[in-house]
Chain A
């Protein structure tokens, strides 16, 4: 088993981190569009999306069966599946992998749930160290104004309601996500997270991101298959069909 920092792949891994409402997903989508237009092959992987594990997590959350420990372990299982199936193979093939949330999400959330920080860091030892990990930093108050749909959009575990910090979901969200922000802040130095001030305009943030990513692309392969190739082969196939009939 290769551990964090020991993998060597021709591809690049860019990850975004930050609390809900920080705008990180929007920024990552814009980055992906740009990279593809530049001719790079990209793969996108999102937190908590493994087809193998998703149903267990969903049920556990819906029925509120998760303890801090099983919450931590099931997310690690999901992440392991994505690492084994969706992150390592494309990186080996020289692609650019873009991850919406990464191990730092687990470190921040599980820590805020009272799980031992050293234990969680060990749990994720199998993770590939990102080329760059962006942290979209924003206050909880500002993030809350951006969560579309208002208070109904705040989810039980996202608000740390399992921690019984407050009976009010908005207040609980404030307290729990506050602890998550503190944990992120403490990881800036520990993991060399690249901080983006998420209170700035979308364009400003994206420009900064692209500037930083550009520097990390020296020597990266442009593996995206251009559309004209497809059109060309389609035209050829249709000619052959016409000739045959």
Chain B
């Protein structure tokens, strides 16, 4: 035991040494395919006999709805948004992730503090301030970073939901329309991720490959840290 640790000043009344499960983070910018891979990983992990909890941004019981509502309006400022996300994250960490880890689950999280730190710094927040705010986060067992170029992201977004206000960082007024803004905003986010990759030991996976190839690569990264499968493979 004693595998888990906080980045800095941790949560009051939580002893990280008593946490048993695995904390697996999938990071990457908008449209890179994170949720597809979370779904595939979940199936794979459960078929191996691991109990899985999956969670992601704005899903907290406390702040999820409020944060979504705030994003519908037009007055949400940069610092306010950062702290709203931090509240959402803290609620999920304390009430979902930590209890699941204590019970020995594999926690799969669609984004972690890294996306939030990137969004905040891109919006002009002081990087040291942001880092300190998220000091209460647990260090994950692994951070898989799905990396794509802006061109690839544009293609994917066009094929799915189309450009939206926040994914294009329209609040930053970086371009004259959604497309220009999306390209400028996502480029800044990608740079922020690149800066974090070494510091936080990201496992970088090229997201431009096929879904199957990317999924296999992620599974290959996770396999060594997991307990062996609960049952031998059924011969096919």
* A interface residues with partner B (beta carbon < 8 Å): 1, 3, 50, 52-53, 55-56, 59-60, 65-70, 73-74, 76-77, 80-81, 83-85, 113-116, 118-119, 122-123, 125-126
Footprint of A on B, CB under 8 Å? Answer: 8-9, 11-13, 61-63, 65-67, 69-70, 73, 75-80, 82-84, 86-87, 90-91, 94-95, 124-126, 129, 132-133, 135-136
Q: A70-B90, A119-B135 are in contact. List 19 more A-B contacts (CB 8 A).
A: A1-B79, A52-B66, A52-B70, A53-B66, A53-B70, A53-B80, A56-B66, A56-B67, A59-B62, A66-B62, A67-B90, A67-B94, A67-B95, A69-B94, A70-B91, A114-B12, A119-B132, A122-B132, A125-B126
Interface of B is mostly: helix
Q: B136 and A69: CB pair below 8 A?
A: yes
- Nearest CB on B from A238, distance (A): 36
Q: Which residues of B contact A122 (CB under 8 A)?
A: 129, 132-133
Cβ-closest 5 pairs across A and B: A84-B77, A56-B66, A77-B83, A73-B87, A114-B12
With A1-B125, A53-B66, A67-B94 already in contact, the answer to whether A80 and B83 are too (CB < 8 A) is: yes
B124-A1 in contact (CB<8A):
yes
The residue on A at minimum CB distance from B65 is A56
> What residue of chain B has the Cβ atom nearest to residue A117's Cβ?
B9
18 contacts between A and B (CB under 8 A): A1-B78, A1-B79, A50-B80, A52-B75, A52-B76, A53-B80, A53-B84, A56-B63, A59-B62, A65-B62, A73-B90, A76-B86, A80-B79, A81-B77, A83-B79, A84-B78, A114-B12, A126-B129
Neighbouring B residues of A119 by C-beta, 8 Å? 8-9, 132, 135-136
Supposing A67-B94, A69-B94, A81-B80 touch, asked if A116 and B9 sit within 8 A by C-beta, the answer is yes
**Are A74 and B62 within 8 A (Cβ)?**
yes
| Chain B residues within 8 Å of A52, by CB | 66, 70, 73, 75-76, 80
Contact A113 B12 (CB under 8 A): yes
A150 to B86, CA, bound (A): 36
Chain B residues whose CB sits within 8 angstroms of the CB of A65 once the complex forms: 61-62, 91
Inter-chain contacts of A115 with B (CB < 8 A): 12
B136: chain A residues within 8 A (beta carbon): 69, 119
Residues of A within 8 A of B13 (CB): 114
Interface of A is mostly: helix
User: Which B residues are CB-close (under 8 A) to A84?
Assistant: 77-80
Q: How far is the CB of A232 from chain B (nearest CB, A)?
A: 34
* Measured CA separation A56–B124 after assembly (Å): 26
Partner of B62, one of A50, A70, A81, A116: A70
| Structural contact, B76 and A3, CB atoms closer than 8 A | no
CB-CB under 8 A from B126, the residues of chain A are 1, 3, 125
Q: Least Cβ distance of B139 to chain A in Å? A: 17
Contacting residues, chain A, for B8 (C-beta < 8 A)? 119
Chain B residue nearest to A82 (CB atoms) is: B80
Q: How far apart are B55's CB and chain A's nearest CB, in angstroms?
A: 15
When distances are taken between beta carbons in the complex, the residues of chain A under 8 Å from B84 are 53, 77
Distance between B184 CB and nearest chain A CB, rounded to angstroms = 20
Residues B135 and A126 in contact, CB atoms below 8 Å apart:
no
Question: In the complex, A84 Cα to B82 Cα: how many Å?
Answer: 12
B-chain residues with CB within 8 Å of residue A73 when the two chains form the complex: 83, 86-87, 90
Instruction: Report A42 CB to chain B, min CB distance, Å.
Output: 22
The answer on a CB contact under 8 Å between B77 and A55 is no
A80, B62: Cβ atoms under 8 Å? no
* Contact of B79 with A126 in the complex, beta carbons under 8 Å: yes
- How far apart are B211's CB and chain A's nearest CB, in angstroms? 36
Q: Given the complex, which residues of A lie within 8 Å of B77, measured CB to CB?
A: 80-81, 84-85
The contact of A69 among B11, B78, B83, B132, by CB within 8 Å, is B11
